[in-house]
Amino acid sequence: MFSSIRTKLTTTYVVLLVVVMVSASFFLLNLLKNYYFAYQHENLVSAAKVVRDLVAPKLQAVPDVVDISNQAELVARQSRSRILITDDRQRVLGDSVRVEGLVGTVLNRPEITHALLNQNDKSWSVQYSEASGVLVLQVAVPIEVDGKILGAVFVSSSLQEIDKMQKDIRNYLLLITLLAILAAGVIGRFLTNKITGPIQSLSEATEKMAKGDLSQRVPVRSRDEIGRLTKLFNEMAAQLQENTRKLKEFVADASHEMRTPLTSLNILVKSMRDFPLEPEEREEFLDDIDQELERLIRLVENLLDLTRLDKLATEETMTVADVVPTIRQTLEM
């Protein structure tokens, strides 16, 4: 059944839909992932700049660690991140996390190093946190006052929500794809039935005609190529049926016309064999036999000529001609 054109069309339709849906899903997932990543990156940069503006004046004098940490904690709550402030030697001056904070330690992070060198295009990264088991986005912004870099603001935030959202969207897209495939299978089957239904009818009618049933006709249900093919099939079947009828009629007439001289010959031969004949009567019988033979020969030659003409018309011109008058004229000879 898989070899049927209906199954092939449906399978092709479903496979194409699967390819399109899967490709679109991957594209959409990557697009959303990049969008939300850029959105999160922009939020962290904005939070870092807010902290920078708040603590920049405080770094010009002796920094108040508690005050700086308070500022970092306030912004960190709003941005749902962790914020650290370092001096130009990467020593932590403030940490939004009070318990087990890093105040007073040196934070050797490449992001901070690039920020202190004012290389903002390199002052961010995505790292895998072994402690939490999730990806973490890290951003550093330099603290610059009067053209001098006094330190940096280091902001980090988990990408777990983005990963979770991406998984949810992937599951939704998978469900939508499965439903679309199911719907495509049903719709595709319906559409292919409309397309292949007339073809199936033509196939069945052709099989019956091959077995001798020339009365087969297929309803024309459309005006497209299949409808035109069906119309031509019906015309061909009608012409074939008519030609077959004429052929049978011709054979019957030819048999009748040939039977007449053959019957006469049979009677004449039996008469000559069974009855004694005078020489004059024998000559008369022989003349009659000769006439009947001439008539039979002309009839056979005319039939052969008709066969040659029909073959010539089929091979060279393929012109349909009405040969019935010629046949009747031949039979009347």
pLDDT tens column, 43-88: 999 999 999 999 998 888 778 888 998 989 999 999 899 999 999 9
Structure tokens at 141: 């912004």
Whole-prediction pTM value?
Answer: 0.54
Q: How far apart are the first and last CA of the chain?
A: 59
- Main-chain dihedrals φ then ψ at residue 214, nearest 5 degrees: -85, 5
Beta strands 134-145 and 124-129, pairing class:
antiparallel
Write down the pLDDT at residue 76.
92
- Residue 317 above 70 pLDDT? no
Domains, the chain: 5-167 (3.30.450.20), 225-331 (1.10.287.130)
Alpha helices in the chain (DSSP H): 5-55, 65-79, 110-116, 160-210, 225-274, 279-312, 324-331
Contact 123, 139 (CB under 8 A): yes
Closest CA relative to residue 280, chosen from 288, 292, 267: 288
Dump pLDDT digits (tens) for 170-189.
Answer: 898 889 888 888 888 888 77
Instruction: Give the pLDDT confidence score for residue 324 in this predicted structure.
Output: 45
Widest distance between CA atoms in the chain? 164
What mean pLDDT comes out for the span 144-169?
89
Higher pLDDT, 193 or 245: 245
pLDDT tens-digit map of 234-273: 888 888 888 888 878 877 877 777 777 778 777 877 777 7
